[in-house]
Every structure is written in structure tokens, then in C-alpha cells.
Structure 1
Amino acid sequence: MNVQGFFLLVCFNLRFVSNLKHLKMFSTFVFCIPEKLSMMGLKEGDIEKLANNAMKDICMLTNPRQGSVEDIIDIYQAAL
């Protein structure tokens, strides 16, 4: 299938993405976006280091909602 054919297939399928469940299935299978971070190999022991690195990211300075390391850990755990 060429790029144009793939684009048409994606556009056609997007019309049928009617709820979050279908969107999750669509993004997982068509775009290979994993549903959970654990599907990418992330482990519970990795979360603290990732959260600390996220706090050092320059984007945190302009984030409209300032979070703590604990907030970020909660987000990672929910996505695990």
C-alpha cells in the first residue's frame, strides 16, 4: 500500500472512531502507540528517576499547572 492509500484508509477509519475504547484500539494497532508504558518496557523502579528528570525539564517553567515529583510519579504509575 502506498502513502496515499494508507492516508485514505486512516481517514476512512477515523470516521468510525466513536468512543475512547475504539480510539485506544485504533491508535494501538494503526499507529503502534502502546496503551500502557509497561508495554514499552517501563518498570516500577524506573518511575522515580523519570519523575526527577521530568522536574528538571525546561517545560516545567512554563507549565500552567505546577506539579510536584509526587504528582508526576502518580501520573507515571497510572500510565504503567
Structure 2
Amino acid sequence: MIQSKIIFLEQELNKDPLKNGDILESVRSLNKLLNQIDFNAEFVPVENIKRLHNLFESLKEEALTKQEKAVIKKLSKF
């Protein structure tokens, strides 16, 4: 489900990549992190922003950027 949301968001942002460059880069970064997850074995807490934020930060092994945090917030409300 989150994979569909992030793909849809990326497609929307690709309509105007010059305007959406930074956020588009963040969406792609988060999408790469999602590819590390085994969705058959792991539960992804889409509705819980804090847990989703912690999951991505754990996968990235460093703090998330402001744009990545904004994308996570947008994904949880999608």
C-alpha cells in the first residue's frame, strides 16, 4: 500500500520536475529505502507518522531531511 502511494506521488511530481526537484529527490530516496523491506515479513505503520519516521530513519541509518519528513507526512495522510 505504501509502495503504491509513493509511486503515485512520484508520478505526480514528475509532471513538473523543475518545480518539484527537491521533494522529488526525497520521494526517490524514500522509495529506495522501501525496497529494503520484506513486506511479507514486516509491518509498515503507514497511519502512524512517528513510527513511519522511525522506520525510515532506521533504514537510512541517519537523520531524515526536512523534505523527507514532509514526504512521510504526506504519505501518511494519502
Q: RCO higher in 1 or 2 (8 Å CA, sep ≥ 6)?
A: 2
TM-score by length of 1: 0.28
Per residue, is there more helix in 1 or in 2?
1
**TM-score where L is the length of structure 2:** 0.28
Structure whose alpha-carbon radius of gyration is higher: 1
